[in-house]
Copies of this chain bind each other. A is one copy, B any other.
Amino acid sequence: MQSSLNHTIELPVRFNEADPLGIVWHGHYVRYFEDGREAFGHAYGLSYLDIYHQGYSVPVVKLQCDYKKSLRYGDTILIETVFTPSVAAKLVFHYKVYNAATREIVATGSTLQVFMDLKRNELQLINPTFFEVWKKKYHFDV
């Protein structure tokens, strides 16, 4: 049995992501998280498009981020995305952003997503079948 699933990507900090203080503007971390989540999705068959083709969208309903260190233009970052299973019909991801050079943790965060049934345009209260199958495939027991 598995308790979590991880995926890590490497990204450069873009010039246009740093602010007048020379550090990455805090709002850009939301994109870093989504970049990590989507890379996870492509690695494990759980991208937005995979989910969309099953008839669902997965809007983010809760987001949090703790900023520990600054990032500067020219830095390279690692984004580690961790899927933690949950009994409820939701997707929980945790993120760790590292400075690739120093291996220091720059930020941590999490997102909570729910399933929207695209045909009925309403919240899906129980786990969609495709997601149950997906969790089984990766040996999660909830």
Contact = CB atoms under 8 A, between A and B. Distances in A.
A63 B35 CA distance: 18
Nearest to A116: B21
A interface residue count range (under 10 / 10 to 19 / 20 to 34 / 35 or more): 35 or more
Tell me what chain A mostly uses at the interface: helix, strand, loop, or mixed.
Answer: mixed
A110 to B, nearest CB: 10
Given A67-B62, A73-B49, A27 B27 contact: yes
Interface in A21-52: 21-23, 25-27, 30-31, 34-35, 38, 48-49
B14 A16 contact: no
B49 A59 contact: no
Contact of A15 (B14, B34, B65): B34
